[in-house]
Amino acid sequence: MKTVVTGGTGFIGSNLVKKLLNDGRDVIVASDFSRFGMENLSGLDVQAADIEIRDTDLVHYSQALKAVAGAETVFHMAARVGSLEYLHLVENAELVALQANLAIDANIFRACLEKGVKKLIYASSCAVYDMSRQLTSGAVLRESEMQFSSSFNPETPLGIVNPDGGYGWSKLMGELQLNWTKSLDVGIARMYTIYGINEPLAEGKAHAAGEIIRKVLRMSSPSTLRVFGDGKQSRDFLYVTDCVDILMRLEKVASYPPMTINVGSGTPTSIGTLARKIVQISGKNIHLEFDTSKPMGPISRTANMTRAREILGWQPKVSLDEGLLRTYEWVRGKLGIKP
């Protein structure tokens, strides 16, 4: 079975490629190598000889056709996204995220249909949920809160749809397209806050866990760590290998209409708690200072994981404490900091 992973050199994509190879799959990695070369894959002991590499820029349809040719299954992980600070403080970042991802997704979906791909697993996001819910303390988001009809019904009342920024809109439009793609079996993975080995660490690209770990590792003791927001905003953190496990299980139940599954742990953790856990791992004397002048994003993002348990028979294997320890040691190695 030939399996394509778009964005296979990235964070989640590289971990997925590793798992697919371990399962004996014939893997094709489609990437434009603009952000990552082979370093994420080689860090997981995946060599160029283990995979077929297709250097493709999916913004162009001809390249999307090249990316999926000969594949039975496509895991579409490629997307343009940045950190909270990047998306909300850099001029036009929201617009760029929307336009680039709309083009990438439309090209991949059309190419899959033209090339006769049987299954598509789409990396969507919890950002598709309405911001009125994400700005509610203690919100637990269920897949049925955001669903589509495959046909137009003039009697259906129209409500306000308000996902999280340009990235959320692009993922929502991706899901909408797939709900009209009748000749393709689809699994939609609504990702929450995935962290772990190979997560981005570059300035403006790092996510919460990686950003805090990077800062803590470079700090002396005693010192003060500034954290965006009031520290009370909560996220649903899932270690990357548990995320990959859901993606692999979702492939087995891909269908039309699409099978949509939340990809999280189901447990809320405040950013303040996350920072304290990382400081505890470091063993340093670091005081937390919360900066409410900086963007903090949604107040609450927690996944209802009932569907993953009942349909996929899935449970997370890596606790937050264990996952943070693994990630901390990985980041230490990447930065070349001795214990």
pLDDT tens, N- to C-terminus, the chain (339 residues): 799 999 999 999 999 999 999 999 999 999 988 777 899 999 999 999 999 999 999 999 999 999 999 999 999 999 987 555 445 556 677 888 889 999 999 999 999 999 999 999 999 999 999 988 988 888 899 999 888 765 556 565 556 688 888 889 999 999 999 999 999 999 999 999 999 999 988 876 778 999 999 999 999 999 999 998 899 999 999 999 999 999 999 999 999 999 999 999 999 999 999 999 999 999 999 999 999 888 778 899 999 999 999 999 999 999 999 999 999 999 999 999 988
Fold of 2-195+238-264+302-317: Rossmann fold (3.40.50)
Domain spans in the chain, listed from the N-terminal domain onward = 2-195+238-264+302-317
What integer pLDDT is reported at residue 94 of this predicted model? Answer: 82
pTM metric for this prediction: 0.93
Name, in order, each residue with C-beta under 8 angstroms of 236's C-beta and a sequence gap of 6 or more: 126, 192, 193, 264, 265, 266, 267, 268, 269, 301, 302, 303
Strand, helix or coil at 213?
helix
d(CA 183, CA 114): 10
Q: How far apart are CA 263 and CA 246, in angstroms?
A: 7
Q: CA 47 to CA 140: how far, in whole Å?
A: 40
